[in-house]
């Protein structure tokens, strides 16, 4: 009696199907991760004050006091919004002495362009 061989030959089509599912699953996982990152980013900018900050900073770096003045909001309120935007990677701080200046990151610049195109 001869023994039947099992292994790669007997599962050729099955192996290809498994590899296809694996590629499909990897693609689905990547889409899910991208959607999750986009969702988090959109949550960071889902407030009108934060969108105003992004639009103001699209014209250049600003000191916290200038942002407070332009937004007509208190320093603690503006600082709260700035912290959320900073943690989201949308703005970056620069410290000069006791003063904090903020500017847009590359992501922030891209968001500012999207917002400007939406309201144009």
Any domain includes 5: no
CB-CB contact of 80 with 101 (8 Å): no
51 and 30 co-located in one domain: no
The verdict on residue 84 lying in a domain is: yes
Q: Is residue 7 part of a domain?
A: no
Same domain? For 56 and 114 the reply is yes
Query: What 3-state class would DSSP assign to 18?
Result: helix
Instruction: Compute φ and ψ for 96, nearest 5 degrees.
Output: -130, 105
Residue 72 has pLDDT above 70, yes or no: yes
Global pTM value: 0.74
> What pLDDT band is residue 24 in, cutting at 50, 70 and 90?
confident
Q: In the block, which residue shows the tokens 């992501």?
A: 107
**Total structural domains in the chain?**
2
Contact criterion met (CB below 8 Å) for 116 and 110: no
Find all residues with CB under 8 Å of 67, minimum gap 6, and list them: 53, 56, 78, 82, 102
Residues 63 and 73 in one domain: yes
94's enclosing H/E stretch is strand 91-96
Mean pLDDT of 31-44: 91
Res 62 pLDDT > 90 = yes
- In this prediction, residue 13 carries a pLDDT of 59
Q: Is position 9 within any domain?
A: no
Q: Report how far apart the first and last C-alpha atoms of the chain are (Å, whole number).
A: 80
For residues 26 and 66, membership in a common domain is answered with: no
Range of the domain at 81: 46-119
As a whole-number percent, the residues of the chain with pLDDT over 70 amount to 82
Summarize the confidence of residues 33-38 as an average pLDDT.
Answer: 92
Within this chain, do residues 39 and 66 fall inside the same structural domain, yes or no?
no
């Amino acid at each position: 009696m001869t023994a039947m061989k099992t292994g790669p030959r007997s599962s050729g089509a099955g192996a290809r199907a498994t590899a296809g599912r694996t590629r499909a699953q990897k693609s689905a996982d990547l889409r899910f991760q991208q959607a999750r990152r986009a969702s988090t980013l959109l949550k960071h900018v889902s407030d009108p004050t934060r969108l105003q900050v992004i639009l103001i900073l699209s014209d250049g770096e600003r000191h916290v006091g200038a942002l407070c003045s332009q937004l007509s909001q208190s320093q603690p309120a503006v600082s709260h919004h700035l912290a959320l935007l900073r943690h989201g990677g949308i703005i970056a701080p620069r410290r000069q002495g006791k003063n904090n200046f903020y500017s847009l990151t590359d992501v922030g610049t891209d968001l500012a362009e999207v917002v400007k195109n939406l309201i144009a």
